């Protein structure tokens, strides 16, 4: 017979696990894998997190599609169609964007590049090429801060508006109202603020650790994640700073096409 101290210990363990998963940005579903009797909330705040439970199937996110939709926010297309939405986060130019654009052009694959102020300041010609070749350019904020710590509409708006202004100055066009929170950090108030500014917020349903300049994944490591976890309606997050991505993208797109996938634009999720 289990004593009261046993149940107290288990309760403390559950609280600790929940806090740990939240801090690491992991999906709350991971708790449910070990403790299936624990209820998982439809929404979460902090770090965007995913739990991949079956190859070829969409992951479980730490906020449901239904919850996000009220804020014009998305992380995947809720579809059975084999469609992939390619997105690239671009904090600075690292010499690989031209190769990425070449691969996208070869495959007729539209993408959305989420840019920060530094990229627009240092690489205006590449931004103009993105537009000329039919890609979307989205707002990744001017300074790439932790937006979940911004509590006022004025400060939140300033981060997005300053990038909009620079984009228009560089390109002569208004910026598309697509927003991606830096590092996937968000809060419900942020989602409301973005919506009220006319933005759609985009998270992702597939990514891998490709952003460390001095610790790039090998081709095999990249393919294992990006081929094994691809799924219908995937919003794929890649980083344009990645040497590996620049080298493998042409082959990666070919392999996805051979699996029966087509490439869609994020506009399809919104309209």
DSSP for 137-180 reads: EEE--SS---GGG---HHHHHHHHHHHHHHHHHHHSSPPPSEE-
| Cβ–Cβ under 8 Å, residues 253 and 263 | yes
Of the residues 24, 41, 62, the one at which a domain ends: 62
In this structure, are 100 and 17 located in the same domain?
A: no
Residue 15, CA atoms < 13 Å, CB-side half-sphere:
6
For the ranges 8-22, 38-52, 109-123, which has the lowest average pLDDT? 8-22
Indicate which CATH number applies to the domain containing 126: 3.20.20.370
Question: What pLDDT sits at residue 180?
Answer: 98
Question: What pLDDT sits at residue 57?
Answer: 92
Of the residues 62, 92, 108, the one at which a domain ends: 62
Segments in the chain forming alpha helices (H): 4-23, 29-34, 65-69, 97-107, 117-122, 124-132, 153-171, 188-196, 219-228, 243-258, 267-270
Question: How many domains is the chain built from?
Answer: 2
178-189 residue pLDDT tens: 999 999 999 999
Q: Which two tokens stand for residue 32?
A: 């449910």
Question: Residues of the chain with pLDDT > 70: what percent?
Answer: 84
Q: How confident is the model at residue 199 (pLDDT cuts 50, 70, 90)?
A: very high
For the ranges 20-34, 121-135, 234-248, which has the lowest average pLDDT? 20-34
76-96 residue pLDDT tens: 999 999 999 999 999 999 999
In this structure, are 78 and 17 located in the same domain?
A: no
Distance CA(28)–CA(6), nearest Å, equals 24
Q: Give DSSP secondary structure letters for 217-249.
A: PPHHHHHHHHHHS--TTEEEEEETT-HHHHHHH
pLDDT tops 70 at residue 214? yes
Distance CA(41)–CA(69), nearest Å, equals 16
Question: 253-257 long-range CB contacts below 8 Å, 24 or more apart?
Answer: 253/103, 253/104, 253/106, 253/107, 253/109, 254/107, 255/223, 255/227, 256/84, 256/227, 256/230, 257/107
In this structure, are 43 and 82 located in the same domain?
A: no
User: 């096409």: which residue's tokens?
Assistant: 257
In this structure, are 86 and 168 located in the same domain?
A: yes
The Cα angle at residue 85 between residues 79 and 90, in degrees rounded to 5: 150
For the ranges 34-43, 190-199, 227-236, 261-270, which has the lowest average pLDDT? 34-43
Distance CA(93)–CA(212), nearest Å, equals 14
In this structure, are 152 and 180 located in the same domain?
A: yes
Q: What's the mean per-residue pLDDT of the chain?
A: 87
| Cβ–Cβ under 8 Å, residues 235 and 206 | yes
Distance CA(128)–CA(121), nearest Å, equals 12
Question: What pLDDT sits at residue 46?
Answer: 84
In this structure, are 10 and 93 located in the same domain?
A: no
C-alpha 176 chain-centroid distance: 17
In this structure, are 82 and 51 located in the same domain?
A: no
Q: Helix, strand or coil for residue 88?
A: strand
For the ranges 28-32, 93-97, 176-180, which has the lowest average pLDDT? 28-32
In this structure, are 50 and 76 located in the same domain?
A: no
Mean pLDDT of 63-88: 96
Give the N- to C-terminal CA distance of the chain in Å, as an integer.
58
In this structure, are 127 and 224 located in the same domain?
A: yes
Domain around 44:
1-62
Mean pLDDT of 177-203: 97
In this structure, are 232 and 115 located in the same domain?
A: yes
In this structure, are 26 and 128 located in the same domain?
A: no
Active site residues: 89, 239
In angstroms, what CA-CA distances link 154 with 146, 173, 194, 197?
15, 24, 12, 11
In this structure, are 84 and 33 located in the same domain?
A: no
């Amino acid at each position: 017979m289990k004593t009261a101290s046993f149940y107290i210990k288990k309760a403390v363990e559950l609280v600790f696990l929940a806090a740990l998963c939240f801090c690491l940005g992991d999906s709350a579903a991971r708790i449910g894998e070990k403790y299936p009797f624990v209820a998982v909330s439809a929404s979460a705040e902090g770090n965007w997190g995913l739990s991949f439970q079956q190859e070829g199937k969409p992951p479980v996110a730490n906020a449901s599609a239904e919850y996000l939709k009220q804020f014009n926010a998305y992380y995947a297309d809720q579809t059975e169609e084999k469609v992939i939405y390619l997105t690239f986060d671009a904090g600075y130019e690292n010499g690989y964007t031209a190769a990425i654009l070449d691969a996208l052009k070869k495959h007729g694959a539209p993408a959305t590049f989420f840019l920060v102020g530094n990229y627009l300041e240092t690489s205006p010609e590449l931004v103009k090429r993105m537009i000329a070749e039919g890609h979307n350019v989205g707002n990744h904020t001017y300074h790439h801060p932790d937006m979940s710590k911004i509590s006022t509409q004025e400060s939140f708006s300033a981060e997005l508006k300053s990038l909009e202004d620079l984009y228009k100055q560089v390109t002569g066009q208004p910026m598309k109202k697509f927003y991606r929170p830096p590092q996937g950090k968000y809060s419900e108030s942020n989602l409301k603020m973005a919506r009220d500014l006319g933005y759609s917020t985009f998270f992702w349903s597939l990514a891998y650790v490709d952003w460390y300049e001095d610790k790039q994944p090998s081709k095999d490591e990249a393919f294992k994640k990006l081929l094994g976890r691809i799924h219908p309606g995937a919003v794929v997050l890649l980083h344009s700073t990645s040497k590996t991505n620049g080298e493998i993208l042409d082959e990666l797109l070919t392999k996805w096409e051979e699996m029966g996938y087509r490439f869609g634009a994020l506009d399809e999720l919104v309209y």
